[in-house]
Structure 1
Amino acid sequence: MSDTPFGFGLPPEEPEDGDEGKKKDPTGGGQGSGGPANPFGFGPGAGGDNPFAAMFGSMNPNDLGAAFQQLGQMLSYEGGPVNWDMAKQIARQTVSQGTTDGSKDASVGPAERTSVDEALRLADLWLDGVTSMPSGSVTTVAWSRAEWVEASLPAWQQLVDPVAERVGLAMGDVLPEEMQAMAGPLIGMMRSMGGAMFGQQIGQAVGVLAGEVVGSTDIGLPLAPAGKAALLPLNVERFGKDLSVPQDEVRLYLALREAAHQRLFAHVPWLRSHLFGAVEAYARGIKVDTSKLEDVVGQFDPSQPEQLQDALQQGMFQPEDTPEQKASLARLETALALVEGWVDAVVHEAAKSRLTSADALRETMRRRRASGGPAEQTFATLIGLQLRPRRLRDASRLWASLTDARGVDGRDGLWEHPDMLPTAQDLDDPDGFVHHEQLDFSELDKMLGEAAEGGTRKPSAEDRGEDGAGDDGPRTDGKDDDGR
């Protein structure tokens, strides 16, 4: 839980100097107010017979109006499964507080914008020689963390809403049918609070992630508007801080990755919907832990909505152990691995002869993508899914082998249709896939060549169906084989 009075970013009251025996209450509810800690300052056990005395006694009066305003927003929300206005507000607040190492967000200056623009344009030039896909960047931008939050929220909405919707539906399903009509107002209140709580948790995760990402495609999904190649100068600097690599090389390597992602998503028109569709298909197979939700509904106290927040933070989503759900997860993980593996392979090919630290930067990024950060763990808890390419190294090896066997055009041609891409089984045996593809394409080339030749060559006697065509027997017209 958040260490704030309402769990929404309001600072708890600090004890004044000299107040012995008063400790800072991590929940902000006021330990010395006559009952157990209560982040809302009222309800059972807070302040004895006068709950409002505890509320006013433990909260800074300057925060009281804002706290009630946010409570009103929670109860009055009537939108979708996630209160995205609240998510945006919390994300912006989280960004403004800075990262754990003390790094604070700041506006991007002209010099930083120029450096990012030059790096992304140079990266596109380098990629021209290692992929058949042309540039996918219409514009280049240098974002602050707050600007990344604003730009990426629509994509997060598309990812999270399907799962959050299941929670909203489950809240009505856990009660017996004869009680649902009577409990209608309660269920409606819980759904409103659920939307707000989801908004808070997503907002906090997005805000933390804004302090970690270096571009718009870090998680393997396009989070920015199409055609916008973006880097976050502050986070690029933070990424390379302890690597003993020149900052220019770090920026160029990360620009290569961003530009490569942009090419792939721009020139494989079905890829974005394929990835987001795979996430949605996986979400449809997630079931809500109804036993946990039943406990929340049965003990729900409108004055203590933090109960619902606790349930969300602990995670109440469990993937169904069915063949369909396993197949859905395999498709998603394979798709993410293929995207990241292709980017890894083409970026390494472009960088290895130009950047002295290319190998070190590649390994650093691989480990970063494999382990994920705290924000990614938060999303895993909330939506039951880790957006990480578990088989990145296998996919990268496969794409490199395809490049050696078929060249750049042959490798990139596999992106023309999803059915042509390698499967999870192909990642187990990349050499077998490459060899099989070579045979298939050799046969295809032969067929196309014969078809082309058939359209231009003069038809033979056999083609015309004349007698004796193709007969190796002796001639019967008294002439030799040369017609003499």
Structure 2
Amino acid sequence: MTSPADLIINWDVARATASRLVPPGPPLRPAAAAQEVADLRRAAAEAVGYVHTITGLSAAEGLGEDQRDVLVVDRPGWSTANTESFRRLLTPALEAVAEKKPQLVSEGSSAQVVGSAATGAELGGILAFLSANVLGQFDPFHSSERAPAGRLMLVAPNIVEIAQQLNVDRDDFRLWVCLHEQTHRVQFAAAPWLREHLMSSISTLSASTLSGVESLPQRIAEAVKSLRQEAKQDRAGQHDDAPAAPARNRLLEALQSPEDRAIMSHLTAVMSLLEGHANVVMDAVDASIVPTVKTIRRRFEQRGKNRSPLEKLVRKLLQLDAKAAQYRDGQKFVGHIVDTVGMETFNTIWESPEHLPTEHELHNPDKWIERMGFTPQG
């Protein structure tokens, strides 16, 4: 029997669309491609030891010896894997929506067939774009006999292409990329509860967002009314000392229920923490580990400023630049905590959900230190 979730999104269309639209990677002869795979696997194994040394997390011990959950893929392979990840992650929310709105899953109806295919095509287009821009990814939501607690994917053609564009040492660049992704693998090994915690939050938010269609007109009207009121106050000079957030952000916030905003705030803080922590680990790497690390950092950061107009547009639509800003905030949070109370004390953040920072604490790390009852180092 077809799952209700599969009637809302046509996953076959998503997979096929992504495979069709994926741009070709750099040409490699079979022998060169096989060598790249071997080199990436070696770099992935080597990176774990450095992550262990930098973070002091005991969960990293032995992870470099187990390569069963390390997958080196091409662009179509990455998009296919992520189609399955989205399916697994969204199924609970989609089934909840289907239960409330059975009209969406009237199997065989023209609305169901066209709607699910259109949604699948949209998802496939997004995955196709991302497949050419992702260097690596730890997928904590994957579970299989070979990789029961998530898997690490390294996108070989993208790593080759970016290393060529930056004209940097290939061995150093592989290790630099693997350090970031293996840090994520270690995070989830250190916090085995984190996978289910995130899945629960994402499912709740997704179900609420997908099922709230009927209330959108009223919420939009309320948002517009609120924005007009603020505009009047601005003209009256009542907000001179407290500039308001951009109108688009306020509108998006108004379209969410208080419960949705709370979950979104929590997810933002957690994802910023994970990425910020990985960036701190990468910044702790010096020339003794990656000899050309300064050159790689400088050229990689410069590359982000030279995007094509089309890529800039797509990144805006997907809010990738907004996410990058959030991750920089996470890096500042982690760096401040480590500098103030030390890495060992910071590592208590992985012990339970209660230790995770709120979004407010993410921007005010001393508040987290105070809540946790830690004393700054002398």
Rounded Cα–Cα distance in structure 2 between residues aligned with 1:263 and 1:430? 23
- Correspondence 1:254 to 2:181: no
Taking a change above 3 Å as real, the CA distance of residues 397 and 124 of structure 1, as seen in their structure-2 partners, is same
5 Å-filtered alignment, 1:10-159, equals 79-95=6-22, 98-99=23-24, 103=26, 109-131=33-55, 132=57, 133-135=59-61, 136=63, 138-139=66-67, 140-159=70-89
* Partners of 1:167 and 1:288 within 8 A in 2: no
TM-score between the two structures when normalised by the length of structure 1: 0.56
The answer to whether the 8 A contact 1:401-1:434 is kept is: no
- Pair 80,404 (structure 1): closer, same or farther in 2 beyond 3 Å: same
Q: Is the 8 A contact 2:341 2:376 kept in 1?
A: no
Q: Which runs of 5+ in 1 are unaligned?
A: 1-76, 174-183, 293-316, 443-484
Supply the distance in 2 between the matched residues of 1:106 and 1:205 (Cα, whole angstroms).
28
- Which residue of structure 2 aligns with residue 189 of structure 1? 110
CA pair 374-261 structure 1, distance change in 2 beyond 3 A: farther
Does residue 329 in structure 1 map to residue 259 in structure 2?
no
Q: Determine which of 395, 415, 428 is the counterpart of 2:330.
A: 395
Give, in whole Å, the separation in 2 of the partners of 1:367 and 1:161: 37
Matching residue of 2:227? none
| Selected match of 1:201 from 105, 110, 122 | 122
Distance 1:185 1:155 in 2: 25
Do the aligned residues in 1 keep the contact of 2:7 with 2:107 (CA within 8 Å)?
A: no
Tell me, yes or no, if structure 1 residue 288 matches structure 2 residue 213: yes
Q: Which has the higher helix share?
A: 2
Same amino acid, percent of matched pairs:
22
Residue 412 of structure 1 pairs with residue 347 of structure 2: yes
What is the CA-CA distance between 1:351 and the residue it aligns to? 4.2
Indicate if the aligned counterparts of 1:229 and 1:262 stay in contact, CA closer than 8 A.
yes
Q: Using the alignment, how far apart are the partners of 2:190 and 2:283 within structure 1?
A: 20
Letter in 2 for 1:143: V
- Report how far residue 374 of structure 1 moved: 6.6
Q: Match of 2:273?
A: 338
CA distance in 1, matches of 2:372, 2:216: 49
CA contact (8 A) 1:205 1:378 kept: no
Q: Is the 8 A contact 1:170 1:290 kept in 2?
A: no
1:231 is paired with a residue whose SS is strand
The structure with higher relative contact order (CA 8 Å, sep 6+) is 2
- Letter of the structure 2 residue corresponding to residue 395 of structure 1: G
Question: How many angstroms apart in 1 are the aligned matches of 2:106 and 2:71?
Answer: 47
Tell whether 2:195 aligns with 1:272. Answer: yes
CA distance in 2, matches of 1:433, 1:340: 18
Q: Paired residue for 1:431?
A: 366
Instruction: Call closer, same or farther: CA 1:388–1:431 in 2, change over 3 Å.
Output: same
Distance 1:344 1:355, change over 3 A: same
Aligned to 1:235: 158
Structure 2 alignment gaps of length 5 or more:
218-250
- Structure 2 partner of 1:350: 285
Contact 1:261–1:343 (CA under 8 A) maintained in structure 2 = yes
Aligned pairs (5 A) from 1:374-393 = 388=323, 390-393=325-328
Superposition TM-score, scaled by structure 2 size = 0.70
Distance in 1, Cα, partners of 2:352 & 2:177: 28
Equivalent residues in 2 for 1:159-198 (5 A)? 159-161=89-91, 172=103, 188-198=109-119
Structure showing greater radius of gyration is: 1
